[in-house]
Amino acid sequence: MKKSRVMRATALLIGLSLVGVACGGSDDSASDTTAAAPSEGGDLTGMKGTTPLVELSQEFKDRLLEVDPALKDYSYAAETYDSVVIIALAVEKAGDDGIAYASEINGVTRDGEKCTDYASCRELLQGGKDIDYDGVSGPLEFAGNGEPLKASYGVLQFGADNRLADDLTTYIEAAAPADADVAAVPVEGDRKGDGVLTLGSILPQTGSLSFLGAPMFAGFDLAVKDVNAAGGVLGKDVVAIKGDSGDATTDTASKTVDAQLSQNVDAIVGAASSGVSLTVIDKITAAGVVQFSPANTSKALSGYADKGLYFRSAPSDIVQGAVLAEVIKGDGASKVAIIARNDSYGTGLAEDLAKNLEAGGLEVVVTKIYDEKATAFDAEVDEIKAAGPDAVAIIGFDETSKILATMVEKGVGPKAIKVYGCDGNMGNALGENFDAGK
C-alpha cells in the first residue's frame, strides 16, 4: 500500500488490545481517524471497511504478481502463503507427513527462536532449535485451538472511482483477549504419512467469494514454490493440488474434498468461507487430515470439535468486531444500523460488532439479518432508513453490491451517511460489481 502519513494510537477495548494504528509516511504527529465527508466521485466514495491485512512489502507483492500478473487485490494472499509454510515447517519438525505433524503446528508459531522465512526456519529446525515463525501476515502466535492471537487489520476506503484508494489505507494491530490463549487441543487419529507432503486446496474459484480466489491461489502457489526452492520438505518437493470451494449454496467443496482425499493429501488449505468450512470440516478431520484455512473468521470454529486438526491463519471475528467498532466510533458515528447475511460468519460478526459498539457508547438502532440467497433487499433497506442511523455496517459477500445499490437508490448510500464493510466484501470486485449493476 502507498504511504502518506503516520498515525499512532494505543487503546484497550472490551478485552481486545489495539496496539497500533498506522498509515505510513513522514508526519509523526498524532491525528484522529475521522474521514472527511465525501462530496464528489462515485457512489461508493468514502465507504470504509476492515479486513485482516498487514502492510505487505513491495517485494512480496511483486513476487505474487510474477505468479499471477492479473492480480488486482492481495486479500488473504499473505495468510494463504503462511498457511502453507506453517504446514511445511510442522512436517519438518515432526519428521513425518502423517497425522503426527498436526501436534507441531501451533508450536512452530511461538515460543522459539524467531525466523521469518521457510529456508531459515528449516535450517534452525535441522539444527535442533525450537522456532517461532513470524510470517508475511504477522506474528501469528497460535493458541492451542490453532488460531492466531495477534493480528493486523487494514482499514480500507473506496475512492472517487469506486475502487479502493491505497493511499487512504490505515493499519490496526490487535490482540485477542487473554482468555483466548487456550490449552492445546489433543490430536486424535493415527493416519500414516508416505514421506511426500501433498497439499490440497479448497479455495474460491467460483461463488460469492470468488473475488478472493486469485490472491489466495497466488499465495498458495508462491509458498509451494519457495518451500521447494529451499529444499522441499523431508528432502522432497511438495506436491500441490488445487481445487474449487464454490460457496455454501453448492456442494462444490464437498466434491473437491472427496477428490483430494482420494489422492492421499496430508492437508487441505481452505476454505475461504467459514460456512463452507463448516460443511466439510467433519469429513476432512475424520480422515485424519489437517484442514488449514487462511480466511475463516467465524467464532463458531474457535471451539469446534475438530480432533485437533483444524487451524486458521486469520483471526476470529471476536477481534474484527472490536476493531470495526473502534473505526466506526472514531469516525464520530452515534447511531448504527447493521445488515448481515444469515450464516455463521454474518450473524457471529454482527453479534460481536453490536456488543462492541454498545460498549463504546454507540446505539445500534437496528440489526437486519438477511437470506444470503436473496436477490432484492428493499425491505431491509427500508427498515434501516426508517431507523435513522448515521452509519450502516454491511456484513456480507458479493451480494453487498446489490445492497449498496438499493441503499443509494433510497438515499442512505455512502455519499449520504457513513457506510462500512468487512473482510467478506471489501475489495475492488465490490466496486466492479456495483458499477456493472451486479
Quick: pLDDT tens for 306-321: 999 999 999 999 999 9
The answer to whether 288 touches 315, Cβ cutoff 8 Å, is no
CATH architecture, range 58-143+182-315: 3-Layer(aba) Sandwich (3.40)
pLDDT at 15: 44
Cell (9 digits) for 288: 485424519
pLDDT band of 73, cuts 50, 70, 90:
confident
Quick: pLDDT tens for 213-264: 999 999 999 999 999 999 999 999 999 999 999 999 999 999 999 999 999 9
User: Is residue 279 over pLDDT 90?
Assistant: yes
Torsion over CA of 155, 156, 157 and 163, rounded to 10 degrees? 180
User: Is residue 340 over pLDDT 60?
Assistant: yes
CA distances from 405 to 321, 358, 368, 381 (A): 25, 28, 17, 10
User: Is residue 404 over pLDDT 80?
Assistant: yes
pLDDT band of 83, cuts 50, 70, 90:
very high
